[in-house]
A and B are shown apart, each in its own frame.
Chain A
Amino acid sequence: MAKKVAFLQGNEAAAHGALYAGCKFFAGYPITPSTEVAEVMSAELPKVGGKFIQMEDEIGAMAALIGASLTGAKVLTSTSGPGLSLKQENIGYACITEVPCVIVNVMRGGPSTGMPTGPSQSDIMCAKWGTHGDHPAICLVPASVQELFEETVRAFNLAEKYRTPVMVMPDEIVGHMRERIVFPEPGELEVIDRAAPSVPPEQYKPYDTSFGDVPPLAAFGSGYKFHVTGLNKMQDGFPTTKAEIVQAEEERQVRKVEANKADIMKWEEYMCDDAEIIVVAFGSTSRSARFAVNEARKNGIKAGLFRLITFWPFPEERLLELSKKVKAFITPEMNLGMCTGVVKGCIEGNAPVLGIFRVDGEPVNPDQILEKMKEVK
């Protein structure tokens, strides 16, 4: 049977990816350039018995999302920069309470209102450090419409598997571009549901580490009674200020992502085997980078592309390895050096990192990358 093929916008693909993953609840607030995600969900969710609610603000949307997830539903919201800033309060709440949820943040120029219709890649640090306190961060940065669909499915899997918020961050170009997409058949992509408790209600603790670093989460309304709080908590969910418990719980929350980096990280190495210059890029910028690498190869320059698909956790070890055999890294990005700084931070000075930064609402074009390659000695 021929697979279903469509010509779809990135944001629409994110919504369809969420539906494929079994999303049953969406809470959001209108914001450019992500609104199409909400529009598709408002039309499609009720068809499958799911619920869509447009909340009074971004903060409320994130709050409703967590409330719905606690009843066992897979949940999605979508937003963009200013909305992401507002959502950070309750993203932190979802981190400490360990409630699965997926946030699609379509990156536009900032700070503040910035350039609402212009592309940007300047929210990637906000994905890791936006909410206060130490917490785990998972951020996926797809580069095509097909990949936005598939990475949204993976975002749900990671959220459910690790009981934590997961961000999918296409830049505005990926969110708004239209491309051919081949819909996976049901069952073709892995779909993970959160672990259900294996103990009866009277023995249940929402953070029972005897089940490992990711304890099963019961659903409100399923016979299990438990307490959820944004305060530092004990294994039974109740607040504590006991030093050793707070320390252990904080470390576990971060460890459940850090210790499973290999499962979460994803990248593509294109012509990196013999590369002397490696372009590290993500999102739409990686498409310019691929074009530039192909052009460079035609001219005899040994260039390669290291394309990030997971941004957080960052593939530090692999880049360190590669840094030992390259002449330079080139890091084109639509911000003033966020990824560049992260790359510099993990390669121990083994190679120069030459950044190309655009914050003018225009994509980095391949010529800029080819020009930069000439600077490599």
Chain B
Amino acid sequence: MAFDYDKYIRPGKLPHIWCPGCGHGIVMKGLIRAMDSLNLKKEETCIVSGIGCASRLPGYMDCCTLHTAHGRAAAFATGVKMAKPEMNVILVGGDGDGTAIGGNHFIHACRRNIDMTYIIMNNYIYGMTGGQFSPCTPTGAKASTTPYGNPDPGFDIAKLAIGAGATFVARGTAYHAAQLDKLIAEAIQHKGFSVVEILDDCPTTYGRRNKYRSVVDMMNRLKEVAVPVKAAEKMTAEQLEGKILTGVLHKVEKPEYCEEYAKVIQRAQAAK
């Protein structure tokens, strides 16, 4: 029997705003399958986003949904989670929202290791505003504000998250759709701050400026550059040149923020 996505989607809120060929819908379906596999209750799940194309995702989900200000999803979500730790808190957004204007909130959410899951759809571009370069746009690439090629070096989101203290970091792609639900589910189950970077595509504002003639070209690129971490172990540095690792990249156990704050409450009340 076909999977029933409708039970997680708000009635009457489709069609979505995303362009034909955009991968965000693939990610949303992955999230829905992940939530379903974990039996997450919709009224106990809060989906938080910032601003941008990817940040429109919560509006379609039949949960407690919070579409916040640009870059601020992690900070709003921290307030929700800390005030109500029993809620499942999932953040979604794009690369510009999360790593440029939201970079500070992102690294500090990683550092606190607060039990939330952050799904970053990395399509290398600011799509909603028409294709300006983001901190993840490859050096040399064309964007509406880099007509002569991007002079900036880019962020590696997964490395940034690991460096900042996130205790679960994974990477998937919109091409490898069938793996997304498992990666997202594992991230949600992880106790602590988990980050899932999903390499995505924006045919409308990135592809057409960067010699991807079709959505298929963009998807083929994701297929070609992705190397599962397990497979990479057997590959040489030469073979890994230009490749991007996918799968669970980092998983460690550390004290979780809300649990640590519960101890603060115990200490304060014991001293009273």
Q: Does A257 contact B (CB under 8 A)?
A: no
Report B67-89 residues with CB < 8 Å from chain A CB. Answer: 67-69, 72, 74-84, 86-87
Instruction: Give the segment of A63-71, A118-126, A275-283 that binds chain B.
Output: A63-71
Which residues from 51 to 81 on chain A have a C-beta closer than 8 Å to any C-beta of chain B?
51, 53, 55-57, 59-61, 63-73, 75
Q: Check A47 for interface membership: any CB of B closer than 8 A.
A: yes
Contact A63 B265 (CB under 8 A): no
Query: Known contacts A46-B265, A89-B69, A229-B67; is A63 also within 8 Å of B76 by CB?
Result: yes
Instruction: Please pick, from B65, B77, B104, B267, the residue contacting A67 in the complex, using a CB distance under 8 A.
Output: B77
Main secondary structure of the interface of A (DSSP, over half): mixed
Does the CB pair B79–A27 fall under 8 Å?
yes
Whether A352 is near chain B, meaning CB under 8 Å from some CB there, is no
CB–CB A66/B79 < 8 A: yes
**Distance of A352 from chain B, by nearest CB (Å):** 44
Take A67-B78, A67-B80, A70-B80 as given contacts and tell me if A90 and B72 are in contact as well, using a CB distance cutoff of 8 Å.
yes
Which of chain B's residues have a CB closer than 8 A to the CB of A69? 79
A residues within 8 A CB of B69? 63, 89-90, 93, 230
- For B63, what are the chain A residues with a Cβ–Cβ distance below 8 Å? 225
Query: Is A43's CB within 8 Å of the partner chain B?
Result: yes
A186 at the interface (CB under 8 A from B): no
Which of A65, A67, A239: most chain B CB closer than 10 A?
A: A67
Contact code string A71-110 (vs B, CB < 8 Å = 1, else 0) = 1110100000000000001100100000000000000000
Residues of B53-107 at the interface with A, using a CB-CB cut-off of 8 Å, are 58-59, 62-69, 72, 74-84, 86-87, 104-105, 107
Task: Indicate if the CB atoms of A221 and B86 lie closer than 8 Å.
Answer: yes
The answer to whether A231 has its CB under 8 Å from any CB of chain B is yes
Whether the Cβ atoms of A64 and B75 lie closer than 8 Å is yes
A-B pair count, CB < 8 Å, reads 135
**Is B44 part of the binding interface, using a Cβ–Cβ cutoff of 8 Å?**
yes
* A63 & B75 in contact (Cβ 8 Å cutoff): yes
The answer to whether residues A56 and B13 also contact, given A25-B79, A27-B79, A227-B58 and a CB cut-off of 8 A, is no
Q: A226 contacts which chain B residues (CB < 8 A)?
A: 64-65
Q: Which of A51, A61, A66, A72 contacts B82 (CB 8 A)?
A: A51
Q: Does A301 contact B (CB under 8 A)?
A: no
Chain B CB within 8 A of A212 CB: no
Q: Does A296 make an interface contact (CB < 8 A)?
A: no
Interface residues of A (CB under 8 A from B): 24-25, 27, 43, 46-47, 49, 51, 53, 55-57, 59-61, 63-73, 75, 89-90, 93, 201, 220-221, 223-231, 238-239
Q: Knowing that A71-B80, A90-B69 are A-B contacts, what are 5 other residue pairs whose CB atoms are under 8 Å apart, sorted by A's residue number? A: A25-B82, A47-B268, A53-B261, A64-B75, A93-B68
Would you list 6 pairs from A and B whose C-beta atoms are within 8 A, ordered by A residue?
Answer: A49-B265, A64-B76, A67-B78, A93-B68, A225-B64, A229-B59
